[in-house]
Structure 1
Amino acid sequence: MKWWQISLLLCCFGFLKDFRPAEPFLSHYLTGPWKNFTKSEVNQYVYPINTYSYLACTIFVLLLTDLVRYKPVIILCGLSGTACFVTLVLGKTLFLMQIVEFLYGLFLSAEVAYYTYIYAKVDKKHYQEVTGHTKGASLLGRFTSAVFGQITVSFYLLDYHQLTMITVGAFAISVIFALFLPSVEQSIYFHSSKNNAKSNPTLEPIDASVNSINSNTNQSNFNFNLEKRIPQPDIEKHDNLKQKIRNACKLLWTDFRSAYTNVHVIKWSAWWAFATCGYLQVASYMQLIWIDIAQDGEKIYNGAVDAVYKIIGAIAVFIVSKAPLNWPLLGEAVLSVFSILEGVLVIFSSITSTLWVSYICFVAFEVIYHTIITIANFEVAKYINNDSFGLIFGINTFLTLVLQSVLTIIVVDGPLKLDIRKQFFIYGGYFLILGILFMIMGILTIAMSYRKGERFRFFTTVEDNKRKPEV
């Protein structure tokens, strides 16, 4: 199959899996007449399950993706999303809503196969094109679904229940496109060319030994000698599997050690993990704040908010990806400023009584996060080995989810069981502390650079960009 055909199939899958018009209104659906759960039940017993499920599945699915070579996990991604929203439509009990969140966590963890399949299947010269296609399709799916959901709700064309059924249909169709994706012959770790070379040693020819056997030799002795020379299929497969696992573990450890012994990678990965932890908490529970703020009969514009921040965020990401800022020197300072700003926005959301103010704060928060996480992505990628970004991304995501689980247990699910306003005040303080820590790191970085006599530069040059960082 040609690369553009693979890209087209991936784009169709990506668009459909992200066409989820019900998501901006999920909390209203759960607390409305269709399900009749209270805000407290949704906050404390439903949403936290997603955090724990995502955590439990992430590393397992990351390794499974490489082991089974991507396509089965892409299919699993579509199936788990379908099952999630089917259960949401049919379920009435709190337990079934927890199953919904478990399946959603599985879906999120399985998305790694969609984003890494292209690097195993498509020729390197088409990486940039296909990456742009797939990310664009995903963004278009989210934007289109948000606009569709908002228009149909605002004009009373569909209700939240009907939007959820449309989401089920989009997921089900996405699975069909996943089935037509071509299989992958190799993967980065378990099925790499290096593994195959090591795990398939050349067998000695048996002709010489067979010919040297005297014709008077007993037939049973001949059979016995032949069996010793030819490995049994089950034993051979078992040995090959063990060798593949050993080689894969060596490659994994090599890439892990290479990445996390680099100070630059550690700093940016630390911000990545801590900031994403806070972001996921805010994004997951924001709809409950809006329910708390909204006056009776006030129109809800959650879908419009989703559409606006996705478009503004895409523009901001494009601009910042071209900015020649001296990130090694000024990176921590930039991270500190924007982390503090995020904290202020979240705290303001926790105390405001005006829905539109909260909407604006959330749009600004989303745009800042997606812009800075993009910088974190390419700063980490510059300093790690080729082909190991999927592994490092997976590890950083796992650390994020560990932190998020701890934060959920302390603030939401533990003995405190704070109400939604107090939770957001805590999340705002969390970002302020993160900003202060990186401000200290930024001051130290600039001071050390000054002591070394390095020239202070806000921007990099063309020569700097051509120079490959040390890995």
Structure 2
Amino acid sequence: MHWVKISCILCMFGCFKDFRPSEPFVTDYLTDWKHFNPEEVNRDIFPVSTYSYLATLIIVFLVTDFVRYKPVIILCGLSGIITFFMIVFGETILTFQILEFFYGLYLSTEVAYYTYIYAKVDKSHYQEVTSHTKAAILFGRSMSAIVAQLTTSFSLLNYHQLNYLTISANIFATIWAFFLPSVKQSMYFHRASISDDEQSKESFDYQSNEPPKYRCIDIYTSKMPLLRKIKNAYALLWKHFLQAYTDYRVVKWSIWWALATCGYLQIISYIQLLWQDAVTKGDMIYNGAVDFLYALIGAGIVFCVGKMKLNWSLIGDVTLSIFSFLEGTILVVASYNYNIWFLYVGYIIFGVIYHTMVTVASFEVAKYISEDSYGLIFGINMFFALLVQSLLTFVVVNKLTLSIRQQFFVYGNYFVVLAVIYFLMGVLNLVQHYRSGKVFRLWINDDDNSLPTTRNTSSSSDVISSKTKHNGS
């Protein structure tokens, strides 16, 4: 199947999967319709999805590669359907804790959606299809937000009825997933070709710098034993892991990525409780409009940043420090502020900053890792983000049982500490740059050879024959 058709089907799935108009008002739905108090929502219900997301992510990532993506994409849609059906019919805390487990699974299975393109589409189309899928997600979120706001503001639908729109969209997305073409090869367990060295050694020699000689062998028709597939997959996983995280530039950007993502996930999980604490009974709620503006503004700024040729190797640490400090300041002030409009605007600014800088972190990390290991490294970064988030949730929410405003004060200081760390790293980087005698240039050119280039020590040409990579195009 042509890559454009694949992209269209994948985008349709992503768009409808993220069309969830019930989410901007989920906290109000739980408290007003299901009659849970805010403390139960904060401490007993919401934390379960965080732990579930963490527990299932790595397992799902490996299973995704093993079963070749499509079944996990379908599972993503099914888990969403189960989640929102249970929201409609659930009444007890236990029921909602179970549905939060499925919601965590719903989030973790998204890894199949984001990595499917790397196994099915040729490398020459990676950037195009990646932009298409991200745009589809963003479009689905923005449309669901504005639909939610308009239907509730004009009393066309209530919070309960919005769930039926969400369920319908997820059912439609799951149906679209069945039209995705099956994947005959994957990154680790079902490779299209293997080397002569691998055949003789039965594993990848990830300590050797010598490129082996390759011959095309169709693994899925050569009946390779399962144990050997697992062994080879593990060896390649470990090789990509070492090559990525022994590079200090990858480590530096990945640490910020993981820690900032942890804070971001915590904020979007509990922000509605803070908004609810700032409004009085009967006030109009504009959560959907805020989500719409946040998605729209974020998309525009992220698109512009992707076109800017800045010398991130020079100014990256300082930029991360400045924006992390701004995020921390917004959260600290929000923890004391009862003006709902300030909280709305602060949330938009916070989210736009995060998405802008995490985009920078993504393409900076991508410069120094193998193309084949994008999904692995991004997945590992996400795993560490969830690990820290789970620890933060366990301490702040479950053990210390802080109020929602006290929680946001802690999260604000979390970002301030992150800002201080990267400020010190930035100063050290600038001093080293000055001592090396290099010119301070904030902008770079495409033909600038003095700057670091992409690390391709383990690109797909090292492990896959390019002649067999065109699968189904």
SS of residue in 2 equivalent to 1:193: coil
Q: Of the candidates 403, 406, 428, which is equivalent to residue 444 of structure 1? A: 428
Which residue does the alignment assign to 2:461? none
Which residue does the alignment assign to 1:180? 179
SS of residue in 2 equivalent to 1:413: helix
Matched positions, count: 434
Aligned mates of 1:435, 1:16 — CA distance in 2: 37
Aligned mates of 2:288, 2:235 — CA distance in 1: 46
SS of residue in 2 equivalent to 1:398: helix
Q: Of the candidates 273, 294, 297, which is equivalent to residue 288 of structure 1? A: 273
2:113 is the alignment partner of 1:114: yes
Once the two structures are superposed, residues 105-151 of structure 1 have per-residue CA deviations (whole angstroms, 9 ceiling, x without a partner) of 10111001111111211223332332222221111110100000000
Q: Give the C-alpha shift of residue 461 in structure 1.
A: 2.1
Displaced runs of 4 or more, over 6 A: 196-201
Which residue does the alignment assign to 2:49? 50
1:378 counterpart letter in structure 2: F
Once the two structures are superposed, residues 178-229 of structure 1 have per-residue CA deviations (whole angstroms, 9 ceiling, x without a partner) of 111110000000001245988989xxxxxxxxxxxxxxxxxxxxxxxxxxxx
Q: Give the C-alpha shift of residue 448 in structure 1.
A: 1.2
Once the two structures are superposed, residues 296-326 of structure 1 have per-residue CA deviations (whole angstroms, 9 ceiling, x without a partner) of 2110000000000101000110111112211
Aligned mates of 1:394, 1:67 — CA distance in 2: 15
Once the two structures are superposed, residues 70-108 of structure 1 have per-residue CA deviations (whole angstroms, 9 ceiling, x without a partner) of 000000000011101011111000011111211111011
Q: Give the C-alpha shift of residue 462 in structure 1.
A: 2.3
Aligned mates of 1:181, 1:197 — CA distance in 2: 33
Which residue does the alignment assign to 2:58? 59
Which residue does the alignment assign to 2:101? 102
Aligned mates of 2:195, 2:311 — CA distance in 1: 42
Q: Give the C-alpha shift of residue 470 in structure 1.
A: 4.1
Which residue does the alignment assign to 2:23? 23
Residues 362-377 of structure 1 mapped to structure 2, 5 A cutoff: 362-377=347-362
Q: Give the C-alpha shift of residue 281 in structure 1.
A: 0.6
SS of residue in 1 equivalent to 2:166: helix
Q: Of the candidates 430, 455, 461, which is equivalent to residue 414 of structure 2? A: 430
Which residue does the alignment assign to 1:462? 446
Which residue does the alignment assign to 1:130? 129
**Which one is further off, 419-428 or 445-454?**
445-454
Structure 1 gaps, min length 5:
202-235
Which residue does the alignment assign to 1:206? none
Q: Give the C-alpha shift of residue 385 in structure 1.
A: 0.9
Q: Give the C-alpha shift of residue 2 in structure 1.
A: 2.4
Contact 1:189 1:195 in 2 (8 A): no
Over 3 Å counting, the alpha-carbon distance change for 1:116 and 1:27 in structure 2 is same
SS of residue in 1 equivalent to 2:421: helix
Which residue does the alignment assign to 2:8? 8
Residues 147-158 of structure 1 mapped to structure 2, 5 A cutoff: 147-158=146-157
TM-score by length of 1: 0.89
Contact 2:259 2:385 in 1 (8 A): yes
Aligned mates of 2:11, 2:337 — CA distance in 1: 40
Structure 2 gaps, min length 5:
201-221, 457-473
2:333 is the alignment partner of 1:348: yes
Aligned mates of 1:406, 1:433 — CA distance in 2: 17
Aligned mates of 1:288, 1:136 — CA distance in 2: 28
TM-score by length of 2: 0.89
Aligned mates of 1:187, 1:261 — CA distance in 2: 25
2:291 is the alignment partner of 1:306: yes
* Aligned CA-pair RMSD: 1.7
Which residue does the alignment assign to 2:39? 40
Aligned mates of 1:196, 1:162 — CA distance in 2: 56
SS of residue in 1 equivalent to 2:144: helix
Q: Give the C-alpha shift of residue 467 in structure 1.
A: 6.5
Which residue does the alignment assign to 1:251? 236
Aligned mates of 1:41, 1:9 — CA distance in 2: 40
Aligned mates of 2:179, 2:352 — CA distance in 1: 35
Once the two structures are superposed, residues 138-187 of structure 1 have per-residue CA deviations (whole angstroms, 9 ceiling, x without a partner) of 11110100000000000010001100111011111111111111100000
Contact 2:310 2:442 in 1 (8 A): yes
Over 3 Å counting, the alpha-carbon distance change for 1:467 and 1:329 in structure 2 is closer
1:435 counterpart letter in structure 2: A
Which residue does the alignment assign to 1:383? 368
